[in-house]
Chain A
């Protein structure tokens, strides 16, 4: 799953390479619109729906992966 998320990030943020420690703070293109774009693409890829509270917490590769696992468990 991590690789899939990284692949999406690469496309959304137009990056050459995505490191495991990527976060909203370290990535310039990851602004509020980038974040929204990411959410839309993640929802399509993983067939999940994020609540606004989830979206606020999704600020790094790690937190996104955990969030998707958490939502998948509930499904």
Chain B
């Protein structure tokens, strides 16, 4: 896999163009060292309690710190900023979430300064193109916990692909500019130096804006060149004498003013500057010229030219986003960041944990284990139907199936989990069957909501303790490979079971009960309601 993404919502459709693997929700327990690039995409939850959302955001920052230490410093780690899409304004003013988001984003900047492999992608760059109502479709949020409208997955993918290019410093190097009706309004050969419009009233003022923007680009290291069908002396006169003009002769690194065709001129520029044609962007108001270059020099980028001069601001914004954006935290940002440094660092220390156990402890996880009853049977059957990732055998059961297992003296244990951020409900299931005095773990599954918190270990050990108390000698267990359960392929090894048989489709394990010792953990509050 090229990418691995850490996330807290359902965002698969937005990244499925990449060769990518997804973490469990809020799961930072696992770092696959073979991955090239890691992504961190955490979004504020849509909950009612503002304080709770804010606390969660603080804890995400803490999780990011922990994870960052585990990731190889030579690997790119792309981190999304956070923004808020949905907020209810009750009468009381509560900006705790806004403050938490601000602090979160500032911490990202600090981390980026300290860790050159950490790159920030501003989610705002995508959000800004849409209204808040477009960004979120509550139907899909409630059906799949999808935080963004899945209809935007295509433009999102395009946008994010571009952001990765920016992070990899892929950008165009050279602009080839036409002059008449491109850098100024009018045609110098016909209208004369007094007739062309730049500066002053519309449309001159919008051409002025365009030239100023191009000057900014040149300051950012983009090479400006000219390719225009004109008499050289006319243009030189404008550059020397026109009072309002911004871009003058010295701003252009290469100048081709002649009556030859533009394809040849662009090729000459490329040769003279020793640049590949794929580094070039060509801007010309004439559709014919653009088409000619598109046809004959397909590696040159040729954006459409705006239909009206007042559209220059939109044109330049897209031009930069599509071709010239470069990744760097600008100086002002860094200064601001340093001011934040002291304050933020203090709050950051409160939420950052020195180790993973401490983080887990801070979650105040409560686990309750219960046996099959009338109230949980429907949900437990549903868990067998829906759970794919953390599911050792992927046996699917109906309510009737569960009842008959129960009647055949099988044991069915459900697990409820909650932490300080909320109640996850019934999210785990273990089914034990008995055969010839041995116990068999028929089913062991957990919903992906609670993965990455080592809860599975607490769950299985508690169940093994119950089995031990029944004076069972051996427990056997199976891992059956499915398309989606690779993440648990070594689970029983980790739980100290011995592998007794392995085939292409499954692995069989055994645990001698005399070798099993129950160790209670002080990280979780465990409560058995059996």
| Residues in A whose Cβ lies below 8 Å from that of B150 | 36-37, 40
Cα distance, A32 to B139, chains bound together (Å): 14
The reply to whether B143 and A55 contact each other, CB–CB distance below 8 Å, is: yes
Cα distance, A63 to B320, chains bound together (Å): 47
**A40: min CB distance to chain B, Å:** 5
The reply to whether A44 and B151 contact each other, CB–CB distance below 8 Å, is: yes
* Known A36-B144, A40-B150, A40-B151; contact A52-B139, beta-carbon cutoff 8 A: yes
**Which B residues, 138 to 174, have Cβ-Cβ distances below 8 Å to chain A?**
139-140, 142-144, 146, 150-151, 153
Q: Tally A residues with Cβ within 8 Å of B.
A: 13
- Scan B6-22; emit 1 where CB is below 8 A from any A CB, else 0: 00001011000000000
The reply to whether A31 and B144 contact each other, CB–CB distance below 8 Å, is: no
* Known A28-B483, A44-B151; contact A36-B143, beta-carbon cutoff 8 A: yes
The reply to whether A33 and B139 contact each other, CB–CB distance below 8 Å, is: no
Q: Is B242 an interface residue (CB 8 A)?
A: no
**A50: min CB distance to chain B, Å:** 8
Cα distance, A63 to B150, chains bound together (Å): 22
| Residues in A whose Cβ lies below 8 Å from that of B142 | 52
| Residues in B whose Cβ lies below 8 Å from that of A43 | 151
| Residues in B whose Cβ lies below 8 Å from that of A36 | 13, 140, 143-144, 146, 150
Give A56's nearest chain B residue, CB to CB: B143
User: Which of B144, B151, B483 contacts A33 (CB under 8 A)?
Assistant: B144
The reply to whether A33 and B143 contact each other, CB–CB distance below 8 Å, is: no
- Scan A40-59; emit 1 where CB is below 8 A from any B CB, else 0: 10011000001110010000
25 sample A-B contacts, Cβ–Cβ < 8 Å, listed by A number: A28-B483, A31-B388, A32-B144, A32-B386, A33-B10, A33-B12, A33-B144, A36-B140, A36-B143, A36-B146, A36-B150, A37-B13, A37-B150, A40-B13, A40-B150, A40-B151, A40-B153, A43-B151, A44-B151, A50-B139, A52-B139, A52-B142, A52-B143, A55-B139, A55-B143
Extra contacts, 19 of them, besides A36-B13, A40-B13, A40-B151 (Cβ < 8 A), are: A28-B483, A31-B388, A32-B144, A33-B10, A33-B12, A33-B144, A36-B143, A36-B146, A36-B150, A37-B13, A37-B150, A40-B153, A43-B151, A44-B151, A50-B139, A52-B139, A52-B142, A52-B143, A55-B143
Cα distance, A36 to B144, chains bound together (Å): 8
- Scan B368-393; emit 1 where CB is below 8 A from any A CB, else 0: 00000000000000000010100000
Give B146's nearest chain A residue, CB to CB: A36
**B484: min CB distance to chain A, Å:** 8
Cα distance, A25 to B341, chains bound together (Å): 54
Cα distance, A50 to B388, chains bound together (Å): 26
| Residues in B whose Cβ lies below 8 Å from that of A31 | 388
Cα distance, A13 to B483, chains bound together (Å): 14
Cα distance, A40 to B139, chains bound together (Å): 11
Cα distance, A40 to B386, chains bound together (Å): 21
Cα distance, A44 to B137, chains bound together (Å): 14
| Residues in B whose Cβ lies below 8 Å from that of A52 | 139, 142-143
The reply to whether A33 and B13 contact each other, CB–CB distance below 8 Å, is: yes
Cα distance, A31 to B12, chains bound together (Å): 12
| Residues in B whose Cβ lies below 8 Å from that of A28 | 483
- Scan B479-519; emit 1 where CB is below 8 A from any A CB, else 0: 00001000000000000000000000000000000000000
**B517: min CB distance to chain A, Å:** 39
Cα distance, A44 to B483, chains bound together (Å): 29
Cα distance, A51 to B142, chains bound together (Å): 11
| Residues in A whose Cβ lies below 8 Å from that of B388 | 31
| Residues in A whose Cβ lies below 8 Å from that of B386 | 32
| Residues in A whose Cβ lies below 8 Å from that of B13 | 33, 36-37, 40
**Which A residues, 18 to 43, have Cβ-Cβ distances below 8 Å to chain B?**
28, 31-33, 36-37, 40, 43
Give B149's nearest chain A residue, CB to CB: A40
Cα distance, A11 to B10, chains bound together (Å): 21
Cα distance, A52 to B142, chains bound together (Å): 9
Cα distance, A37 to B12, chains bound together (Å): 10
* A-B pairs with lowest CB-CB distance, top 8: A40-B150, A33-B12, A36-B144, A52-B143, A40-B151, A52-B139, A37-B13, A36-B150
**A4: min CB distance to chain B, Å:** 18
Cα distance, A23 to B140, chains bound together (Å): 21
Cα distance, A24 to B13, chains bound together (Å): 19
Most central of A36, A44, A51, A55 by chain B CB within 10 Å: A36
Cα distance, A33 to B145, chains bound together (Å): 11
Give B153's nearest chain A residue, CB to CB: A40
Give B139's nearest chain A residue, CB to CB: A52
**B335: min CB distance to chain A, Å:** 44
| Residues in B whose Cβ lies below 8 Å from that of A32 | 144, 386
Cα distance, A51 to B10, chains bound together (Å): 19
| Residues in A whose Cβ lies below 8 Å from that of B143 | 36, 52, 55
